[in-house]
């Protein structure tokens, strides 16, 4: 068995985290890392204390389920709840961030975004370049 690279290791953990997702429209996992140490994880699911899609069904607006909080936002929120500084960190996502999530990641100090598949919004590439955030597509060469 070949030992995985650090990037593949963290992406595999993000894939495991995604299995906790409670919205079957898209299972997404997130792992925030700095200096090869996991700082926080998240998956897409409902607001704390509110029933999940897999319990009560989807809340669809404009073709999107708005009952869920996205994985990357949950990872940022978890780090905040636990007092964990994520400035100058990296995030591993099973799917690239949507535009609103990209803005949250940028403002939280994340400097590298690794993603396993592209999801919807090309704006992230333009603004990543402008903000100096590195986007790494891991779907190529995995």
Q: Distance from CA of residue 63 to its chain's centroid? A: 20
d(CA 17, CA 29): 5
Q: Distance from CA of residue 132 to its chain's centroid? A: 18
Spot the catalytic one: 12, 55, 61, 72. 72
Sorted by sequence, the CB contacts under 8 Å of residue 135 that are 6+ apart come out as 96, 112, 113, 115, 124, 125, 128
Q: Dihedral of CA 77/78/84/89: which sign?
A: negative
Bridge partners of 90, per DSSP, are: 33, 112
Residue 134 designated active-site: no
Active site residue ranges: 72
């Amino acid at each position: 068995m070949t030992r995985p690279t650090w990037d593949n290791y963290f992406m595999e953990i993000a894939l495991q985290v995604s299995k906790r997702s409670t919205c079957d429209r898209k299972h997404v996992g997130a792992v925030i890392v700095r200096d090869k140490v996991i700082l926080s994880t998240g998956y897409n699911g409902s607001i704390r204390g509110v029933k999940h899609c897999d319990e009560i069904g989807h809340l669809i607006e404009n073709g999107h389920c708005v009952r869920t909080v996205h994985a990357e936002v949950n990872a940022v929120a978890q780090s905040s709840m636990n007092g964990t500084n994520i400035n100058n960190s990296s995030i591993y996502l099973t799917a690239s961030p949507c535009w609103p999530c990209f803005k949250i990641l940028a403002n939280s100090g994340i400097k590298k975004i690794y993603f396993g598949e592209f999801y919807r919004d090309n704006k992230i590439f333009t603004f990543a370049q402008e903000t100096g955030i590195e986007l790494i597509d891991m779907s190529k060469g995995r």
